[in-house]
């Protein structure tokens, strides 16, 4: 079977597609024929081995075996089940975030513990499903778990047109918030279509220059300072920081943000993903698919994602 591999840290030129042995599922795993995978900024962080602290996980001098095949988001069909698998069966269409469950979604077949997967709703296709896990779960944790927004809450979403931002806008809307999205001019209609009442074009207006206060800032860019957050928040407002834009800034938020300014951190689990799957099924949440590439075009896809100009999700479709 084909898999997308890297042997050392570097740019997209390090990515190659090669033949590897087909995997065999362990007792608690299922073998999935991958139909689609999505790429996330975390994949190019793995590829480049940056920020350097990530190497404690991915390998100090070169990516360790687990991280030599890229990809955290997967959607596909179960082809074989391990002896202790109880919920899934052959033929089930599934999807999941496998960052903490083996990684390596960019391959024709992968083995995944069944606890990482949920059934794909029938009314969404594999590309839409693949775009969901990492981005939608990040948005869900920032908006709901940490943000605890209520109907009528004022929410600012910075980076509203990206993979995470498009889900964050829809989720904030789902919970009844008044949403202001921040993006550039070309993405205003997209962010409004996702549910934002107001859109701030950052090329025309400095986000920091407004008088308006927010109950939640969801920052998927990371270009605002701690004092910017404090100026833009209501007295008891919260700020969920997810953007890797400025690491010092993220660390600052972690160390000095207090209980109202937090880095979003979570471990993917079936319960949260099932909640998201149900919202997809009811069409309260949809994946905005920007571009679709083939497995052989993964380097090109990552080059595009690294521009930080993606509008929604970048998908790898596997034939
Ligand atoms: N903590 C976590 O668990 C976690 C999980 C997932 C992602 N992340 C991080 O979250 C960030 C966003 O991820 P993503 O998948 O959404 O990335 P993405 O899809 O690459 O984001 C691209 C979007 O960012 C927008 N953007 C770029 N600069 C902007 C600016 N100055 N102001 C407002 N919008 C701007 C772009 O819109 P324009 O073209 O209109 O500028 C584009 O639509 C990344 O840094 C990623 O590493 C963290």
* Domain ranges across the chain: 2-132+287-317, 135-263
Question: Residue 181: CB within 6 Å of ligand 1?
Answer: no
What gap in Å lies between CA 212 and CA 101, rounded to an integer? 42
Please choose from 145, 288, 308 the residue to mutate so as to test ligand 1's pocket, defined by most ligand atoms within 8 A of CB: 308
Residue 301 binned pLDDT confidence (cut-offs 50, 70, 90): very high
Place of tokens 């300014």: 261
Q: What is the mean pLDDT of residues 83-100?
A: 98
What gap in Å lies between CA 5 and CA 15, rounded to an integer? 6
Q: What is the pLDDT of residue 251?
A: 67
Distance 270 CA to ligand 1 centre (A): 25
**Residue 64: count of CB within 10 angstroms of its CB:** 12
What gap in Å lies between CA 213 and CA 155, rounded to an integer? 9
Distance 162 CA to ligand 1 centre (A): 5
Distance 74 CA to ligand 1 centre (A): 20
Question: Residue 164: CB within 6 Å of ligand 1?
Answer: yes
What gap in Å lies between CA 101 and CA 39, rounded to an integer? 16
- Residues with Cβ within 8 Å of 214's Cβ and at least 6 positions away in sequence, in order, are 154, 155, 156, 180, 232, 233, 234, 237
Provide the β-strand partners of residue 262. 240
- The HSE-up count of residue 248 (CA atoms within 13 Å, CB side) is 1
Question: Residue 291: CB within 6 Å of ligand 1?
Answer: no
- Alpha-carbon distance values, 221 to 152, 163, 247, 309 (Å): 24, 11, 11, 12
Question: Residue 310: CB within 6 Å of ligand 1?
Answer: yes
Q: What is the pLDDT of residue 319?
A: 85
Positions of E strands within the chain? 2-5, 16-19, 29-39, 73-81, 93-97, 109-113, 117-119, 154-158, 178-183, 198-201, 214-219, 233-241, 261-263, 289-294, 313-317
Name the residue at shortest CA distance from atom 36 of ligand 1: 309
**CA-based nearest residue to 212, from 124, 170, 295, 153:** 153
Provide the β-strand partners of residue 76. 34, 94
Question: Residue 180: CB within 6 Å of ligand 1?
Answer: no
C-alpha dihedral (78, 81, 84, 87), degrees to nearest 10: 30
Does residue 258 have a pLDDT over 90?
Answer: no
What gap in Å lies between CA 183 and CA 130, rounded to an integer? 24
Question: Residue 208: CB within 6 Å of ligand 1?
Answer: no
Q: Could you tell me the fold of the domain covering 135-263?
A: Rossmann fold (3.40.50)
Please choose from 53, 159, 291 the residue to mutate so as to test ligand 1's pocket, defined by most ligand atoms within 8 A of CB: 159
Question: Residue 253: CB within 6 Å of ligand 1?
Answer: no
What number does the ligand 1 atom closest to the CA of 158 have?
Answer: 33
Query: Largest Cα–Cα distance in the chain?
Result: 60
Question: Residue 165: CB within 6 Å of ligand 1?
Answer: yes
Residue 265 binned pLDDT confidence (cut-offs 50, 70, 90): confident
Does residue 146 have a pLDDT over 60?
Answer: yes
Q: What is the mean pLDDT of residues 110-128?
A: 98
Q: pLDDT tens across 157-193, in order?
A: 999 999 999 999 999 999 999 999 999 999 999 999 9
Q: What is the mean pLDDT of residues 210-235?
A: 93
Please choose from 38, 39, 41, 132 the residue to mutate so as to test ligand 1's pocket, defined by most ligand atoms within 8 A of CB: 41
- Residues with Cβ within 8 Å of 17's Cβ and at least 6 positions away in sequence, in order, are 2, 3, 4, 5, 295, 296, 298
Place of tokens 């993220």: 250
Q: pLDDT tens across 16-71, in order?
A: 999 999 999 999 999 999 999 999 999 999 999 999 999 999 999 999 999 999 99
Q: Which of 104-113, 133-142, 225-234 has the lowest mean pLDDT?
A: 225-234
Residue 75 binned pLDDT confidence (cut-offs 50, 70, 90): very high
What gap in Å lies between CA 33 and CA 77, rounded to an integer? 5
Q: What is the pLDDT of residue 257?
A: 65
CATH code linked to domain 2-132+287-317: 3.90.180.10
* pTM given for the model: 0.96
Please choose from 45, 132, 182, 221 the residue to mutate so as to test ligand 1's pocket, defined by most ligand atoms within 8 A of CB: 221
Angle 232-237-239 from CA coordinates, rounded to 5°: 75
Does residue 246 have a pLDDT over 60?
Answer: no
Q: Which of 130-134, 247-251, 314-318 has the lowest mean pLDDT?
A: 247-251
Does residue 249 have a pLDDT over 80?
Answer: no
CB 160 within 8 A of CB 202: no
């Amino acid at each position: 079977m084909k898999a997308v591999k890297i042997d050392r840290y570097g740019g997209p030129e390090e990515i190659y597609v090669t033949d590897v042995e087909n995997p065999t599922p362990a007792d608690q795993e299922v073998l999935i024929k991958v139909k689609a995978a999505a790429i996330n900024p975390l994949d190019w962080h793995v590829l480049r081995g940056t920020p350097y602290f990530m190497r404690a996980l991915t390998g100090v001098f070169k990516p360790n075996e687990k991280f030599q095949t890229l990809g955290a988001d997967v959607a596909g069909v179960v082809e074989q089940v391990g002896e202790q698998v109880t919920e899934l069966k052959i033929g089930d269409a599934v999807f999941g975030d496998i960052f903490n469950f083996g990684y390596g979604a960019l391959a024709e077949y992968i083995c995944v513990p069944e606890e990482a997967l949920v059934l794909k709703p029938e009314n969404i296709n594999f590309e839409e499903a693949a775009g969901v896990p990492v981005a939608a779960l990040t948005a869900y944790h920032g908006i709901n778990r940490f943000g605890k927004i209520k109907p009528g809450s004022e929410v600012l979403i910075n980076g509203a047109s990206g993979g995470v931002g498009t889900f964050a806008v829809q989720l904030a809307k789902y919970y009844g918030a008044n949403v202001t999205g921040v993006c550039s001019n070309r993405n205003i209609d997209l962010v409004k279509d996702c549910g934002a009442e107001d859109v701030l074009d950052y090329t025309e207006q400095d986000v920091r220059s407004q008088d308006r206060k927010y109950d939640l800032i969801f920052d998927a860019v990371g270009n605002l300072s701690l004092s910017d957050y404090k100026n833009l928040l209501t007295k008891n407002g919260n700020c969920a920081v997810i953007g890797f834009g400025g690491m010092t800034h993220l660390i600052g938020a972690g160390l000095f943000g207090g209980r109202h300014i937090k880095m979003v951190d979570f471990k993917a689990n079936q319960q949260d993903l099932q909640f998201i799957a149900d919202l997809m099924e009811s069409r309260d949440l949809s994946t905005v698919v920007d571009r679709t590439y083939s497995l052989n075009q993964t380097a090109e896809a990552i080059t595009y994602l690294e521009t930080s100009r993606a509008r929604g999700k970048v998908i790898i479709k596997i034939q």
